[in-house]
Amino acid sequence: MSVTIEKPEKPEQPAAAPETVRSPRSARSLVDAVFRAREISIAGALALLVLFTWIAEPRFLDGQGIKDLLLNAAILVLLAVGQSVVVITRNIDLSVGSVVGLSAFACGKFVSGTDHGALTVLALGLLVGAGCGIVSGALVSFGRVPALVVTLGMLYIIQGVDYWWAQGEQINAADVPQPVLDLGSGSVLGIPYLPLIAFVVLAGTAYVLRTYRAGRELYAIGSSPEAARLAGVPIRRRVLTAYVFSGAVSGFAGALWLARFGTVVADNAHGWELTVVSAVVVGGVAIVGGTGTVWGAALGALLLTTIGSALAVLKVDSFWEDAITGALLLAAISVDRIVRVRMTRALRKRSAR
């Protein structure tokens, strides 16, 4: 008689719950979020500054006050846009102010006592600026000379050429053709031409950087030049293009300077280099490259311009404008450093997972 011993059945194991995989937040998303927050905070600070100044002096926001504010910011916004493209590639251009001065004087000298139109002046400004940008860009990209050394040298060279050419001469508004002056003083629907031109350049540059491959490659170069090189990015050509663009925008701004003020001397925009760099960095474009937008740089330029106008309206010593600008610059660089450290940590955590 056989006895069958049944093995006790193992208790049925509950089905394993599906594992929820949560991808770590990418470092790029973290940086983008932080810099978007910075742009929002800059816009908020700008709004508070305008509100406070308007409460203290209601004429600050009357029709003429708003017009003057936009006109004063237009040229700085243009320079900030050009500088941003260079800084994104982990470089810098300290010659923008001297290029503005040279371009303004060259355009004034060319049209003085003639009947040339505004388009001729703008085209000449673009050519002068682009020529300066080609020299700087070639030395940085193909000559591999540090950008700080090249552009600082170009600053002094261009200033020297401008002083030598001017020989103390001054271009007066009476000698500038009326169509050119109309460009600086005219408006459409109550909005001056210069802010509209600056906005078109700003929007076009932002679109190219965000949409086209060449624009994205500039960010790749700034983020990691070695990785960009291994990915086949033409680094030298892109850096040269960035400098040519910055120079062309600066020359264009010089032509608009002539249209805006009419009177031109050899040292126009003298000392604007650091103001432009401050506007770019305060606006969220990291000084180490690879992050930031031209929209943020434009907001930074508008904020610095508004600070200067507000201090003048409130009759505060102009010394405080430089002090505030320096404080904002230090704060922006500190924020950039914090963001960079957090990005590195996020990348390490992602690699570990």
Tell me what pLDDT residue 23 has. 41
Query: Amino acid letter at 136?
Result: S
**What does the pLDDT look like over 148-172, one tens digit per residue?**
999 999 999 999 999 898 888 888 8
Q: What is the DSSP letter of 187?
A: E
Which pLDDT score, from 0 to 100, does residue 18 have?
41
Q: Which regions in the chain score pLDDT beneath 50?
A: 1-25, 27
Give the DSSP H/E element, type plus range, for residue 314. none
N residues, the chain: 353
CA dist., res. 179 & res. 256, Å (int)? 12
Q: Which helix (H) or strand (E) holds 192?
A: strand 191-192
Domains and CATH numbers, the chain: 27-345 (1.10.3470)
Which pLDDT value is given to residue 238?
A: 95
pLDDT at 21 (0 to 100)? 38
Kindly report, residue by residue over 207-222, the tens digit of the pLDDT.
999 999 999 999 999 9
What letter does residue 211 receive in the DSSP assignment? H
Asked if 71 contacts 192 with a C-beta cutoff of 8 angstroms, the reply is yes
